[in-house]
Amino acid sequence: MSSISPFASDLLERAQRLGAATLHEAAGRIGALPSAIKPVDPRMRLAGPAFTVVVPAFDNLWIHRAIYQARPGDILIVGTSDGIEAGYWGDVMNAAAEQRGLGGLVIDGGVRDTAGLAEARFPVFSNGVCIRGTIKGFDVPARLQQPVAIGNVVINPGDLIVGDRDGVVVLPAARAAEAIAAGQRREEDEMVKIARIRAGERTLDLYGFGEDAR
């Protein structure tokens, strides 16, 4: 299944390589999701447009449905209405998302079956592991592709989501290319500084952090 992401593949590759922390800093220290949200396996990385989902606490029906409405390459961004202590995602849904060609999951809640999730390598980022089951509320109206708040970050459909072992950053779609270019410049500058430090220079001098700095 081919991707129809609104972001060019080379832009996504650059974003994934630069990583969440670099892009957060380069974009002006915006978009950092709560630090508790981490990958189930530290090797997992993701980059792609947000497909947003809001579910009632302890109810995962609309996550199942979102899997089949999202496009290949989309990152499911799930808000759980403060119902963090449940396992909304497991082996079955993971297999479905993989088969659909989705780009990953970021959920403000728990997941389970994590041994299988880690082996599958489909990128899953969650607030933690929780075995508590969920219900299926068939009378719940759809809340797909609407703005969702996670922590103090509001995520809009189509925003660029980048995640790695350090965490997850959200970049507004209109600023994504600019942030990635700034991230590249930041990385190149840091490489120069690291080389100078290894040659014997001090961080205090490179950054002007000495005792006489004002």
pLDDT of 214 strictly over 70:
no
Place of tokens 């994590």: 114
Q: Is 10 exposed, middle or buried (0-12, 13-18, 19+ CB in 10 A)?
A: exposed
Tally of helices (H runs) and strands (E runs) in the chain: 7, 9
> pLDDT tens digits, residue range 50-97?
999 999 999 999 999 999 999 999 999 999 999 999 999 999 999 999
Do 176 and 169 touch, CB atoms closer than 8 A? no
Q: Residue 130 is encoded by which pair of tokens?
A: 């929780």
pLDDT tens, residue by residue, 81-140: 999 999 999 999 999 999 999 999 999 999 999 999 999 989 999 999 999 999 999 999
Average pLDDT, the chain: 96
In terms of Cα–Cα distance, which of 109, 113, 140, 114 is closest to 126? 109
Indicate whether 165 pLDDT > 80.
Answer: yes
- pLDDT, position 210: 84
CB 51 within 8 A of CB 195: no
Among residues 134, 38, 143, the alpha carbon closest in space to that of 88 is found at 134
Q: What pLDDT does residue 2 have?
A: 41
Structure tokens at 207: 């950054």
Q: How many CB atoms lie within 10 A of CB 68?
A: 9
Q: Rounded to whole angstroms, how far apart are CA atoms 135 and 150?
A: 22
pLDDT tens-digit readout, 189-206: 999 999 999 999 999 999
Strands 38-39 and 46-54: unpaired
Reference 135, options 53, 63, 40, 48; nearest CA is 63
- pTM for the full predicted model: 0.94
For the stretch 20-39, pLDDT in tens is: 999 999 999 999 999 999 99
Give the integer Cα–Cα distance in Å for 1 and 184: 30
